[in-house]
Every structure is written in C-alpha cells, then in structure tokens.
C-alpha cells in the first residue's frame, strides 16, 4: 500500500499540513485511498458537530432565560385576564340557581 506522503496527489504544506488532490470518484491510486477519504470525511463531520455542540452550549443559558421570560409573560397575561373568567363563572352560577 502506498502511503499518502509518497503519492504524487498529496502535497505537504507549511507546518506539515497535507493537501490532497485526489478525488475518490476519478483518480484513486489504491482501494485503501477510499477508506482514507472516508476517515477524513468522518473526522471533518465530527469536528463540525463538536463546533455545533459548543455553540449550543453557549446558547443554552440564553434559551433558558428567554423561556423563563416567556412563561412569566404568559402567566401575567393569564392573571390579567382572570377577572374576565371570574365574572363569567359568577354569571354561570347565578344562571344555575
């Protein structure tokens, strides 16, 4: 099996960063190259998922505050409309008598 560092489709950049010019759909040197591409893609997917989880972690306290504020506002609206319900209940009780 040829190593990526020995392949002409892989370039080593500054700092040891590798740039792959191979495309698993057109120019694959060996069958193992496809497995390597899958590993690279899985690693990229995992990195983006971890980044998304960090953002969710930062947003969670803000979401909690927003939900608490909305619940408080809804409760206040319910309390302010309670007088309407009290009158309706009294009228229903008088009609029942």
Per-run averaged pLDDT (10 residues), the chain, 97 residues = 81 84 82 86 95 94 95 88 67 65
pLDDT digits 0-9 by tens, 51-76: 999 999 999 999 999 999 999 999 98
Burial class (CB in 10 A: 0-12, 13-18, 19+), 33: buried
Q: What is the pLDDT of residue 46?
A: 97
Predicted confidence at residue 71, as pLDDT, reads 95
Tokens (6 digits) for 61: 């306290």
Instruction: Provide the pLDDT for residue 29.
Output: 80
């Amino acid at each position: 099996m040829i190593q990526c560092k020995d392949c002409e489709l892989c370039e080593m950049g500054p700092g040891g960063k590798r740039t792959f010019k191979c495309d698993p759909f057109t120019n694959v040197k060996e069958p193992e190259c496809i497995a390597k591409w899958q590993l690279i893609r899985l690693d990229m997917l995992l990195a983006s998922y971890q980044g998304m989880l960090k953002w969710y972690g930062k947003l969670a306290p803000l979401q909690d505050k927003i939900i608490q504020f909305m619940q408080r506002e809804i409760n206040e609206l319910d309390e302010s409309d309670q007088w309407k319900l009290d009158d309706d209940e009294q009228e229903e009780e008088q009609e029942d008598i």
